Amino acid sequence: MDTFQFPFSPESWPPQFPFNAISQSWFKDFFQYTSGTNGKGTSISFDPLLVAKLQSEYFYEAVRLWQDMLAAKPPTLKDRRFHSPAWSENAFHAFNVAMYLLNSRFMLGLAEAVQTDPKTKQKIVFATQQIIDAVSPSNFLATNPAAQQKFLETEGQSLSKGMAHLLADAQKGWISQTDESAFEVGRNIAMTEGAVVFENELFQLIQYKPLTETVYQRPLLIVPPCINKYYILDLQPNNSMVRYALDNGHRIFLISWRNPDDSMANLTWDDYIKSGVLKAIEIVQEISRQEQINTLGFCVGGTMLAMALALLFASGKKPVASLTLLTTLLDYSDAGALEVYIDELQVRARETAIGNAGLMSGREFALAFSSLRPHDLIWQYVESNYLKGESPPAFDLLFWNSDSTNLPGPMFCWYLRNLYLENRLKDAGALSIDGEKIDLAKINAPTFVYASREDHIVPWTSAYASAELINTKKPAQNRFVLGASGHIAGVINPPAKRKRSYWINTTKPANAQSWFEQATEHEGSWWPDWMAFLAKYAGAQIKAPSKYGNAKYKTIEPAPGRYVKAKATG
């Protein structure tokens, strides 16, 4: 854009233009409504100089767009939603999109110009983006020339198939992101050989068959998140983190959380720590006959694992030789994009509805997470599945993404209030499990912390801050690794694919940005770096066991077990 001198001051802005005093008041009311603060006393105002700048830029771009349209000069559409030639070949649709993009920039600019507290502003920007994405011309047949073209080419069959897809998804209750018939848990996904050697009402414990003649003495216990199915770590042989660790000579045990139904509606966070993580640690120690094991926690699984280990270390026990945390929050000062759903009013509403008994629906979880990336996880499928009648391709990660998990209401509400809302875990003694106070500084074990640079659920800077809370007496033993991509794709990055990169910095400055500025980037997967860390604490090499379990804990059924196959209810 050429250098442009603003011709109007805020006082002289033309009253007929859409952002005069009346419309400014309307936008203020709109932003209060979208942030859920209407009538709540939250102060919302606009920086007049920034608004004047936005107005001038809007006016300049709108006039130039109008002149281009009169001169039959088509606009350049760089947004990937409008990459099809059909958008630029038709002047009406091209200029319609250009105006939509201009209005989108103006609306987001206004949202960013709002002067209010940071959390309210985050909600305003989030809600504005939701509306902008929802009204995109690509989402409607009347304004989508690519879908219209396909309708003509297929003599209406594309729309007929699209309506069939819409009806099928309406019956299921969610938008299909992949060909779900292409996968079956235990057949071509979550297929690493193993056996269930223990189960209770909360979880099954899977012991995997060794893939090497000798194995490390100390086994690795993996604690996945309970808000998702564990098999994100064991999708298929070529991208299975479980199999990779087995190939490198480790003995692997893994918690497979049960998908809660009404019989579990009263379970609490304490139950998940005591009857879940602590019980699994005890069993792995017994089966392996090792006083110390290695442990890994992923996302909220890492939070739960850290709390369980804090209890054990505080009691004088030293149950682990090392701890690995993948995209895990312990300090919730900046809890990422999910904060838009968490405030006192929303948490209190959850507590009223399901705080004493009930279930948090897995489908509601899935919708909330999808809304954080609305185009990628919602609207592009509306266009392709319904308007164009295309069937989504088979993709294992998206199959996992659609396989939702419920949570017990009391457990979920405790998690929201004490961790996300009040951020009490970082403070020694602020939280208790079964009357025992939690102090993360009590965990005296070398810790490997992995974060993803583009993670919108666990900001990498928050993961970095969390790493400072553990093994504080010997922080030099800790290792922080930053990988490229997001919350899932950054973690599931097998070396054989030679994709992405990661950053290493053995110094540990207090500021995360300082760490990154001094870090060295390495091509490929971070998994080998983790393997090198884990090998240091895995003990001697021994002959691989030929049987599962022991005399007390016998095989119950082959992996992946029943629990992971259960679908979310409600």
Confidence (pLDDT) at 40: 61
Lowest mean pLDDT among 9-13, 353-357, 496-500: 9-13
Pick the CATH number of 194-361+404-565 from 3.30.365.10, 3.40.50.2300, 3.65.10.10, 3.40.50.1820: 3.40.50.1820
**What average pLDDT does the segment 509-534 reach?**
96
Whether pLDDT at 557 is above 80: yes
Handedness of CA 91, 92, 95, 97 (dihedral sign): negative
Whether pLDDT at 319 is above 90: yes
- 1: confidence class by pLDDT, cuts 50, 70, 90: very low
Residue 114, phi then psi, degrees to nearest 5: -65, 135
List, for residues 39-78, the tens digit of each pLDDT value: 566 677 888 888 889 989 999 999 999 998 888 898 989 8
**What average pLDDT does the segment 266-285 reach?**
98
Cβ pair 132, 81 in contact under 8 A: no
Whether pLDDT at 504 is above 90: yes
Whether pLDDT at 246 is above 60: yes
DSSP 156: T
CATH 3.40.50.1820 domain residues, the chain: 194-361+404-565
- 5: confidence class by pLDDT, cuts 50, 70, 90: very low
Query: What is the Cα–Cα distance from 159 to 170, expressed in whole angstroms?
Result: 16
Confidence (pLDDT) at 4: 31
Q: Dump the DSSP string for 103-148.
A: HHHHHHHHHHHEES-HHHHHHHHHHHHHHHHHT-GGGSGGG-HHHH
List, for residues 184-209, the tens digit of each pLDDT value: 999 999 999 999 999 999 999 999 99
- 510: confidence class by pLDDT, cuts 50, 70, 90: confident
Handedness of CA 525, 529, 532, 534 (dihedral sign): negative
Lowest mean pLDDT among 17-31, 93-107, 268-282, 330-344: 17-31
Confidence (pLDDT) at 18: 43
Query: What is the Cα–Cα distance from 99 to 262, expressed in whole angstroms?
Result: 50
Whether pLDDT at 436 is above 50: yes
Query: What is the Cα–Cα distance from 292 to 478, expressed in whole angstroms?
Result: 18
- What proportion of the chain, given as a percentage, has pLDDT over 70? 92
Exposure letters 261-282 (e unless 16+ CB within 10 A, then b) = eeebbebbbbbbbbebbbbbbe
Q: Dump the DSSP string for 8-26.
A: --GGGS-TTSTTSHHHHHH
411 sits in which H/E element: helix 409-415
Query: What is the Cα–Cα distance from 334 to 6, expressed in whole angstroms?
Result: 37
| Options 299, 323, 470, 559, the catalytic residue | 299
Helices (H) and strands (E) in the chain, counts: 20, 19
Dihedral (Cα; 96, 99, 100, 102), 10-degree rounding:
160
Cβ pair 223, 300 in contact under 8 A: no
Query: What is the Cα–Cα distance from 119 to 335, expressed in whole angstroms?
Result: 11
List, for residues 360-371, the tens digit of each pLDDT value: 999 888 888 888
Whether pLDDT at 445 is above 60: yes
Active site residue 413: no
- What proportion of the chain, given as a percentage, has pLDDT over 90? 78
**What average pLDDT does the segment 373-395 reach?**
94
Whether pLDDT at 516 is above 60: yes
Instruction: Tell which wins on pLDDT, 2 or 256.
Output: 256
Whether pLDDT at 3 is above 50: no
Prediction pTM value: 0.90
